[in-house]
């Protein structure tokens, strides 16, 4: 039961500077297996930059970023390639390949492996689309013909195509209407349980954050000022946290959280998380 949780992501002493402007100063962060971590912070606090650094899209000026125990800036191309097959990313605007249909977008990562038979790829891609609520009739549409919510869903299906252990979400519910974003939250929660994912997301949406996260990391003053469960984080004395969580919107979302927790969602780290080997 009380196994030591393995850190999936480990950031140590990270510095980021744009010219003379320091964005991150000696930033530390740890994400354990099975967690859903929300990164929050004011605009310009470097959330998206941090996310891009975790994905090895950008290199920090100083410090180490370890994902699955490997230093992603120190590893060579082959290692990095292997890492990249173990994580998935949902970009803020979907970033679907506009020349490919929704179905082909999801099939592409599987075809990229070059060895899976085509009928298996087709069935698996259709299943992924089914899991995010897109039925085969809509699968051949081009991204330009899809609505914003559907683009996000297809983007999620593509991020999940190779059964990642780690999923990054950049503003997953931004631009969705409340009912769509509720169903998106429900979708991510069920996928988190079904696929035993670790999730790191950047979000501004307090409802989404409280509904999903098992942990919250608050980025302010150039580093992570608080990291813990939602209940722990809101107790931290800091002007940003006061303003962000305890405004009117925050209070409303918090009420929801308390109502929610009594009901369904299982507590984190309760041993249901199996160790992927």
Under the rule (CB under 8 A), what is the footprint of other proteins?
A: 85, 98-99, 103, 110, 113-117, 119-120, 122-124, 126-131, 135-137, 139-140, 142-144, 162-163, 194-195, 274, 276-277
| 2 or 194: CB nearest other proteins | 194
**Length in residues, the chain:** 277
Minimal distance, residue 168 CB to other proteins, in Å = 19
| 29 or 150: CB nearest other proteins | 150
**CB 50, CB 220: distance < 8 Å:** no
What tokens appear for 151 in the block? 């683009």
| 136 or 178: CB nearest other proteins | 136
Q: How far apart are CA 142 and CA 61, in angstroms?
A: 39
Q: How far apart are CA 176 and CA 207, in angstroms?
A: 13
Q: What is the dihedral of CA 186, 191, 194, 200, to 10 degrees?
A: -120
Closest CA to 128 of 112, 105, 111: 105
Spatial neighbors of 35 by CB under 8 A, at least 6 apart, are 198, 199, 214, 215, 268
Minimal distance, residue 176 CB to other proteins, in Å = 19
Q: How far apart are CA 192 and CA 80, in angstroms?
A: 24
Minimal distance, residue 117 CB to other proteins, in Å = 6
Three-class DSSP category at 99: coil
Three-class DSSP category at 47: helix
| 157 or 234: CB nearest other proteins | 157
| 110 or 209: CB nearest other proteins | 110
Q: Across the beta sheet with 36-41, what order do the strands follow?
A: 87-90, 166-170, 198-202, 36-41, 215-220, 223-228
Beta carbons within 10 angstroms of residue 256's beta carbon: 14
Spatial neighbors of 208 by CB under 8 A, at least 6 apart, are 172, 173, 181, 184, 185
Please give the helix or strand (H or E) that residue 258 lies within, else none. helix 248-263
Minimal distance, residue 271 CB to other proteins, in Å = 13
Minimal distance, residue 65 CB to other proteins, in Å = 22
Minimal distance, residue 172 CB to other proteins, in Å = 20
Minimal distance, residue 37 CB to other proteins, in Å = 22
Minimal distance, residue 93 CB to other proteins, in Å = 12
DSSP 114: S
| 174 or 225: CB nearest other proteins | 174
């Amino acid at each position: 039961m009380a196994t030591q949780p393995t850190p999936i992501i480990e950031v140590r002493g990270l510095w980021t500077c744009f010219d003379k402007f320091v964005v991150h100063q000696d930033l530390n962060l740890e994400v354990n297996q099975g967690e859903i971590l929300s990164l929050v912070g004011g605009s310009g606090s470097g959330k998206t930059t941090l996310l891009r650094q975790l994905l090895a899209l950008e290199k920090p000026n100083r410090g180490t970023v370890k994902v699955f125990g490997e230093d992603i800036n120190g590893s060579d191309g082959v290692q990095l390639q292997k890492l990249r097959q173990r994580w998935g990313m949902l970009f803020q605007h979907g970033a679907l390949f506009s020349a490919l249909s929704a179905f082909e977008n999801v099939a592409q990562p599987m075809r990229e492996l070059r060895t899976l038979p085509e009928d298996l790829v087709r069935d698996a891609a259709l299943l992924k689309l089914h899991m995010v609520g897109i039925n085969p009739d809509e699968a051949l549409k081009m991204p330009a013909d899809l609505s914003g919510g559907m683009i996000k869903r297809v983007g999620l299906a593509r991020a999940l195509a190779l059964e990642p252990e780690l999923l990054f979400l950049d503003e997953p519910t931004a631009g969705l209407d409340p009912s769509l974003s509720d169903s998106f939250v429900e979708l991510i929660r069920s996928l988190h349980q079904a696929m035993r994912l670790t999730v790191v997301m950047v979000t501004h949406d307090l409802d989404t954050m409280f509904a999903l996260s098992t942990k919250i990391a608050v980025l302010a003053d150039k580093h992570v000022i608080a990291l813990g469960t939602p209940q722990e984080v809101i107790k931290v004395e800091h002007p940003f946290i006061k303003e962000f969580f305890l405004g009117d919107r925050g209070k409303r979302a918090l009420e929801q959280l308390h109502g929610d927790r009594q009901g369904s969602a299982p507590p984190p780290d309760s041993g249901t998380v199996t160790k992927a080997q």
